[in-house]
């Protein structure tokens, strides 16, 4: 049975690993779950054992994300960045492939987030031998978000990252918290969530995400019209849509593209 510390369950093996001096890495997207997780972990993990890591996504990321992370990190917690090694943007990779990612082929997550973050954490461990190769990789996934996430184990050994001189565990500290809970944690800490939530977004990922609701896609189109045009034009060039409905973004969102000369530009069929 997990014990409770500061409103989050801490499995006994996790507590033992942290008490033994392991590095605890906070995967920080800038979203509400990452922010609340950072607040809660900073209360139970010594600051010298904490590091935050962010995979920057360039133009497809919500403006101000890095600044928001930096402004809300606890004092003394370093922030490291994990850019994609190729230097290519998400839209460039989509164009190369001729396909958008999908819920069953989420190469965007592996190529632009998980892979780069794991690379940088390996480097950080190597550069800081005091952790003796021990790492707790904390991620802000919550059971409430989807059946797939609800089926995940909140604490498990990461066999892929664990080698002879390195032992890594994946931990989901806010797994049992509700959306209301995470916003409460942020509010009670005297912080504010990323501005995109107040602007009407329900989640913070890429501005236009393959998993986003129609309402979020519509609001993103209204907030980021230039990026919206770039996505819609890419859909037309490659003949493949971001939405699994196979409808182009202007149809999904109901938001017409503003033409470059200021006139309304209703996107035509894919490939037109």
Question: What integer pLDDT is reported at residue 7 of this predicted model?
Answer: 62
Tokens 């196979």 — which residue? 246
Question: What integer pLDDT is reported at residue 104 of this predicted model?
Answer: 86
Please list the pLDDT of the chain residue by residue as tens digits (272 residues): 344 335 688 999 999 999 999 999 999 999 999 999 999 999 999 999 999 999 999 999 999 999 999 999 999 999 999 999 999 999 999 999 999 999 888 999 999 999 999 999 999 999 999 999 999 999 999 999 888 889 999 999 999 999 989 999 999 999 999 999 999 999 999 999 999 999 999 999 899 999 999 999 999 999 999 999 999 999 999 999 999 999 999 999 999 997 654 444 444 444 43
Cα-based torsion angle of the residue sequence 45, 204, 62, 104 in order, rounded to the nearest 10 degrees: 110
Q: Which two tokens stand for residue 24?
A: 């605890």
Question: What's the CA gap between 198 and 196, in Å, rounded?
Answer: 6
Question: What integer pLDDT is reported at residue 263 of this predicted model?
Answer: 47
Burial class of 184 by CB neighbour count within 10 A (0 to 12, 13 to 18, 19+): middle
Name residue 167's beta-bridge partners. Answer: 134
Cα-based torsion angle of the residue sequence 231, 235, 236, 240 in order, rounded to the nearest 10 degrees: 180
Question: What integer pLDDT is reported at residue 272 of this predicted model?
Answer: 36
Measured CA to CA in angstroms, residue 51 lies from 28, 118, 121, 125, 147 at distances of 10, 13, 9, 11, 30
Cα-based torsion angle of the residue sequence 54, 55, 57, 58 in order, rounded to the nearest 10 degrees: 70
Question: What's the CA gap between 77 and 119, in Å, rounded?
Answer: 19
Question: What integer pLDDT is reported at residue 103 of this predicted model?
Answer: 83
Tell me the whole-structure pTM to 2 decimals.
0.90
Q: How many CB atoms lie within 10 A of CB 210?
A: 18
């Amino acid at each position: 049975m997990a014990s409770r510390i500061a409103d989050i369950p801490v499995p006994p093996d996790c507590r033992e690993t942290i008490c033994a001096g392991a590095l605890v890495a906070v995967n920080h997207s800038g979203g509400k779950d990452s922010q609340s997780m950072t607040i809660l972990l900073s209360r139970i993990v010594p600051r010298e054992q904490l590091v935050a890591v962010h995979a920057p996504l360039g133009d497809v990321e919500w403006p101000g994300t890095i600044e928001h992370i930096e402004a809300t990190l606890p004092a003394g917690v370093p922030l490291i960045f994990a850019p994609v090694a190729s230097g290519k943007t998400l839209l460039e990779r989509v164009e190369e492939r001729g396909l958008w990612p999908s819920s069953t082929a989420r190469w965007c997550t592996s190529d632009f987030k998980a892979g780069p973050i794991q690379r940088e954490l390996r480097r950080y461990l190597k550069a800081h031998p005091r952790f003796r190769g021990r790492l707790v990789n904390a991620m802000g996934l919550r059971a409430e978000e989807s059946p797939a996430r609800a089926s995940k184990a909140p604490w498990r050994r990461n066999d892929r990252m664990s080698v002879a001189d390195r032992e890594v565990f994946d931990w989901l500290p806010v797994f049992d918290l509700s959306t209301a809970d995470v916003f409460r944690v942020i509010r009670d800490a005297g912080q504010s969530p990323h501005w995109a939530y107040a602007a009407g977004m329900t989640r913070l990922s890429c501005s236009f995400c393959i998993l986003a609701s129609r309402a979020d896609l519509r609001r993103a189109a209204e907030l980021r019209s230039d990026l919206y045009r770039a996505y819609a034009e890419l859909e037309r060039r490659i003949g493949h849509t971001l939405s699994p409905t196979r409808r182009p973004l202007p149809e999904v969102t109901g938001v017409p593209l503003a033409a470059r000369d200021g006139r309304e530009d209703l996107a035509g069929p894919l490939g037109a």
